[in-house]
Amino acid sequence: MRITDLVVHHRQVPLRMPYSSVIRGTVDEAHVTLVELVLEDGSSAWGEAVSMPAVTGETPGSVVAALNGPLRAAVVGRRTENLEETCDRVERSILGNGGAKAGVDIALHDAFARGLGIPLYRALGGGHGTMETSITVGLGTPDEMALRATELVKDGFTALKLKVGHAIAHDVQRVEAVRQAVGPDIRLRLDANQGWTAKESVRAVRLLEDRGADIELIEQPVSARDLRGLRFVRERVDTPVVADESVLTPQDALEVVRQEAADVLSVKVQKSGGVRGVLRIVSIAEAAGLTCMIGCSLETEISITAAASVVAARTAVTHVDLDAPLWLGASPVRGGVSYRGPVLELPDAPGLGVAGVLPVPEPSA
């Protein structure tokens, strides 16, 4: 099937509640760019591009410019069954711009699986389409985070990711308050978003270990480029260390492996250029004997369905953090993944199972 056009749909989606982290600050809406590949039979395939200025350097404006310029030129006129060749063209069309490339890559994978008449997760080799996700507790006071954690546990979540990365004394108080509130059976993961130095990280994690906080993992405690610091932490704590912002590309993953800087690689379709980039990083982790966590930014069901399809297909992805649609006040997408509490269910429809996107609401009078 030939691609006849690429159409960009930008949406600003209010969140259910403000979202706070060291790397983002506090936000109350998500900016998402939905990518439509129009096919010669009049049908459409769908992708999504998310700007992450502090991670990939992209803004909503740069994402749209890349999509309407070199990325559109790379795919219009190409055939959807030539997936690898077209993905190569996308990768070579512009330097960087991982989020924009992800939007096109996801749509190409959607179109490819639709052409086969099967869900994307099955096209990638997956046998089942259900999984359990953790959910994030945004940065706040100890009491605020404990209250939110308690609410989420009542909703059935058994794994919580706590945002930390401020002064370590306050962060330790946050974690201890949550642990006391939720009890010993809930898995707690920490995400410092590069907020600590290497020595601060060791002090914070050791203190939590000594106090029996029972942390499942610590994600990106130090600056993304400080792989020596990441290894310094890994060698001095018992808690598994996750490289997130340090791993944007397969080349980054290779360097983390070479330096023995992490126990787990965190992969995201939006920072790694789409499904193909994530699959390559997961393969590197498998070869190195590491595992992966697949995570997300503030994304819709389109991007999350693509990410979850990788989870369904690759056993090296042992930690799932795909809660983003649960933060959205109202989804602009029709179809894709659905949630039953912490259980994420992939659709059995072809491709991503996305039927389309909703129009921009008319402004109230």
Q: Is the pLDDT of residue 151 over 60?
A: yes
CA distances from 50 to 99, 152, 206, 249 (A): 5, 26, 35, 16
What is the reported pLDDT for 149?
98
pLDDT tens string 131-149 = 999 999 999 999 999 999 9
Res 364 pLDDT > 60: no
**Residue 227, burial from CB neighbour count under 10 angstroms (0-12, 13-18, 19+):** buried
Tally Cβ neighbours within 10 Å of residue 213.
18
Both tokens of residue 220? Answer: 């990106």
Report the chain's mean pLDDT, rounded to a whole number: 95
Q: Where do the domains of the chain lie, and which CATH numbers do they carry?
A: 3-117 (3.30.390.10), 122-357 (3.20.20.120)
- State the pLDDT at residue 163: 96
Average pLDDT over residues 252-259: 98
Average pLDDT over residues 340-354: 97
Whether residue 263 contacts residue 290, with contact meaning beta carbons closer than 8 Å, is answered with: yes
Q: What is the spatial distance between Cα 301 and Cα 26, in angstroms, rounded to a whole number? A: 22
Amino acid at 12: Q
Say how far residue 320 (Cα) sits from the centre of its chain: 9
Confidence of residue 361 (pLDDT cuts 50, 70, 90): low
Average pLDDT of the residues in 182-192: 97
Q: What are phi and psi of 38, to 5 degrees?
A: -85, 130
Token pair belonging to 318: 């042992």
Residue where the block lists tokens 């042992």:
318
Q: In what order do the strands lie in the sheet with 215-219?
A: 135-137, 159-163, 187-191, 215-219, 241-243, 264-267, 291-294, 317-320
Write the pLDDT tens digit of every residue in 58-117. Answer: 999 999 999 999 999 999 999 999 999 999 999 999 999 999 999 999 999 999 999 999
Provide the pLDDT for residue 360.
64
Looking at the chain, the whole-number percentage of residues with pLDDT higher than 70 is 98
DSSP string, 122-168: HHTT-S--EEE--EEE-S--HHHHHHHHHHHHHTT--EEEEE--S-H
Enzyme catalytic residues: 163, 268
Give me the residue label for tokens 């942390």.
Answer: 215
Q: Taking Cα atoms as reference points, which of 324, 314, 258, 312 lies closest to residue 48? A: 324
Query: Residue 94 corresponds to which tokens in the numbers above?
Result: 């512009």
Contact status, residue 311 vs residue 132, Cβ threshold 8 Å: no
CB 301 within 8 A of CB 267: no
